[in-house]
Amino acid sequence: MQPVNDDNGIKGTQKKYYVLWYSTEDMDRICEFLYNELCPQHSKFRSLVGKRLISEIRLINPMDNGMKAASFHLVCASLYAFVCYKDSQIVTGALLPIPYVNWSRFVWLTIIDLYMQTLYHSIGFILSIVSPNKRHVIFDYWTKALVGPIGVAVTVLFWGLFLFDPATLARDEMAMKILSLFWFNHGLHTLPAITAHLDILIYNHTNFSTSAILKGIAVFVTLYLVDLHYVFYTAGFWAYPILGELAAPFRLVFIAACMFVVYLGYVWLSLLHTLVHGSEKPKNKKKN
Q: What is the pTM of this model?
A: 0.75
Distance of alpha carbon 251 from alpha carbon 242, whole angstroms? 9
Cα distance between residue 215 and residue 212, in whole Å: 5
Contacts of 125 (CB under 8 A, 6+ apart): 70, 73, 74, 77
For 275, residues 6+ apart whose C-beta sits below 8 A from its C-beta are none
Q: Which helix (H) or strand (E) element contains residue 55?
A: strand 54-60
C-alpha pair distances (Å), 236 with each of 109, 115, 229, 252: 17, 24, 9, 18
Q: 124-156: buried (b, 16+ CB within 10 Å) or exposed (e) per residue? A: bbebbeeebeeebbebbbbbbbbbbbbbbbbbb
Q: What is the pLDDT of residue 36?
A: 58
pLDDT, residue 94, reads: 85
Question: Which residues, in sequence order, are bridge partners of residue 19?
Answer: 59
Residue 192 has a pLDDT of 97
State how far Cα 240 lies from the chain centre: 24
Which pLDDT score, from 0 to 100, does residue 50 have? 46
In the prediction, which pLDDT does 227 show? 94
Cα separation values, 250 from 74, 228, 244, 247, 254, Å: 42, 16, 11, 5, 6
DSSP state string for 163-195: HH-GGGT--SHHHHHHHT-HHHHHHHHTHHHHH
Backbone torsions φ then ψ of 259, nearest 5 degrees: -70, -30
**Segments making up each domain of the chain, as ranges:** 15-60, 63-277
What does the pLDDT profile of the chain (288 residues) look like in tens digits?
Answer: 444 444 444 344 444 444 444 444 555 555 555 555 555 445 554 454 444 444 444 444 444 567 888 999 999 999 999 999 999 998 888 888 898 999 999 999 999 999 999 999 999 999 999 887 778 899 999 999 999 999 999 999 999 998 888 888 877 766 777 777 889 999 999 999 999 999 999 888 888 999 999 999 999 999 999 999 999 999 888 988 899 889 989 999 999 999 999 999 999 999 999 998 887 667 665 444
Of the candidates 5, 256, 273, the residue with the CA atom closest to the CA atom of residue 144: 273
| Pick from 254, 251, 147, 141: nearest CA to 198 | 147
Contact 151/222 with Cβ under 8 angstroms?
no
Residue type for 146, please?
L
